């Protein structure tokens, strides 16, 4: 497991750093020495799907993988918002408006191409050297500037109010939680992300990834 690229299917309920730590322990134990292990982009604890881990000398190439496009499948719940944009935050009911499928599809079309997005305050983005989520948890005011991202495709897979399930191909740096919240705002219903799964990173697919259990790791 040294000097390799590892494809991991991250389980829900575990941090990306937790995945890295577990793989590092297994790799180091197997090699009989400490093995350097890094990730190439985090997934939120509630999310599942593909993580690319790099070990040993391959860590120097981590930035290459980080910049690759990604494909996600996500479910947004309409009519409610969350302080974190996901199930881990404080959820509030904000609307009982039930958009038609045609209205949902029309709004989704406005979110393709190059758009501006504000990342969630509960994110790992650094502001003056500090993580945004740490500042938010301390009750500090967090202002994250808008950034340009590209949504190459955004497909409606299922719609049964209040849930929208989508599949989207996006540029690096895109936050699906923000995308869900912005879609909810555009629909006039509010929304937050209830399920999130990363399907691919560049040419690498979750269908080629291994579960942690295959490395002898229990969740």
Q: Which residues are catalytic?
A: 44
Q: How far is CA 40 from the centre of its chain?
A: 12
Residue 162 preceded by cis peptide, ω within 30: yes
Do residues 173 and 188 lie in contact, with contact meaning Cβ atoms separated by under 8 Å? no
42: β partners: none
Nearest to 174 by CA among 108, 120, 109, 110: 120
Place of tokens 């590092």: 24
| SS3 call for 109 | helix
3 state SS of 123: coil
Q: For residue 57, what is the DSSP state?
A: G
Task: Answer for the pair 55, 16: CB distance below 8 angstroms, yes or no.
Answer: no
Q: Residue 12: name the closest of 39, 47, 51, 44 by CA.
A: 47
């Amino acid at each position: 497991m040294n000097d390799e690229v590892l494809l991991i299917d991250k389980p829900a309920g575990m941090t990306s750093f937790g995945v890295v730590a577990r793989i590092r322990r297994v790799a180091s134990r197997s090699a009989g020495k400490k093995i350097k292990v890094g990730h190439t982009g985090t997934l939120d604890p509630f999310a599942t799907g593909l993580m690319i881990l790099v070990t040993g000398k391959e860590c120097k190439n981590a930035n290459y993988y980080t910049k690759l496009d990604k494909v996600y499948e996500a479910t947004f719940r309409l009519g409610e918002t969350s302080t974190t944009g996901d199930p881990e935050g404080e959820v509030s009911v904000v609307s009982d408006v039930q958009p038609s499928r045609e209205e949902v599809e029309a709004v989704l079309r406005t979110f393709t191409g190059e758009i501006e997005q504000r990342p969630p305050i509960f994110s790992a983005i650094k502001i003056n050297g500090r993580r945004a989520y740490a500042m938010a948890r301390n009750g500090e005011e967090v202002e994250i500037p808008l950034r340009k991202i590209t949504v190459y495709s955004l497909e409606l897979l299922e719609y049964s109010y209040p849930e929208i399930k989508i599949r989207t191909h996006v540029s690096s740096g895109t936050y699906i939680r923000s995308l869900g919240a912005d879609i909810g705002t555009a629909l006039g219903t509010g929304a937050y992300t209830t399920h999130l799964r990363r399907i691919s990173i560049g040419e690498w697919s979750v269908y080629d990834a291994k579960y942690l259990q295959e490395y002898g790791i229990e969740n």
